[in-house]
Every structure is written in C-alpha cells, then in structure tokens.
Amino acid sequence: MQTTLSIVKPDAVAKGYAEDICLRIEDSGLKIISKKQIKLSRDQAEGFYAEHKGKPFYEALINLMTSGPLLVQVLEGKEAISRYRKLMGDTNPKKASPGTLRHDFAESIDANAVHGSDCEESAIREVTYFFPNK
C-alpha cells in the first residue's frame, strides 16, 4: 500500500471540476483517505514548491496556487503514486492523452488542474506538509 498527495488546483476548483475529478480518482480504484479545502498563503505555496524556486515558471505557479481555494487529498492504494500520475496525464495538457485529468480538465501548463507527488520521498514530504498527523 502506498499513499500520495493530490491537489485539485484553484483553476479546476473555480471551474467547478473538483467533484468530477474526485469521482475519476475513486473510479480508478484509488481511495481518498483525507481531504480538505484550503486557500494557500504565499508562504505555504513557496514552501510546498521550494524545489522550483528560480525556474522561469515559478512566479506564475505561486500566483496560480494562491489565487483561490484548492483541494488537498491523500490517496491510498497499491502503487498509488504511479497510478495517480498516469491518471493525471502529462504536465502539459496539450500533450496529455484523452481521458486523463489534465487533458479533460486543464487549460495550460500553468493552470493544469491537478498535482500529484512524483516519487515516494516527495509523497512523504507532501502528505506531511498538509496533513502533519499522517
């Protein structure tokens, strides 16, 4: 069993896609074991995405992530990290396959609807970042 962090980003929440995205996650067989809707402060967003500081897209990313409420969730299942990344599709929605969350719900590489941990080490850090008791 593995756990991973999922974020439904502010662009998708604002468009009313959160419920559909959660249904797709559950339909894929992954279990949502924790969830909360929050609005990130700039400090929280910068802490979460510290590894991207200095990259050309960093400011746009922080602005997007602090633009409105988002949904953070812990997903559980066998190979949850890779399964959720497959469900999300390519980071760039223009390259994502039909049926993936980013193809179906995202508009651009910045406003790309969802985030998922990329490896076990990130998953532990990211789950703990939002759910310190997990």
3-state SS assignment for residue 126? helix
Catalytic residue among 13, 115, 116, 126: 115
Round the CA-based radius of gyration of the chain to a whole number and report it. 14
Nearer to ligand CMP, 22 or 60 (CB): 60
Nearer to ligand CMP, 77 or 101 (CB): 101
Give me the least distance between CB of 97 and ligand CMP, in Å please: 16
Q: Is 115 among the catalytic positions?
A: yes
Under a CB-based contact definition with an 8 Å cutoff, are residues 25 and 75 in contact? yes
Give me the least distance between CB of 63 and ligand CMP, in Å please: 11
Q: Among candidates 15, 5, 42, 6, which has minimal Cα distance to 107?
A: 15
Catalytic (active-site) positions: 115
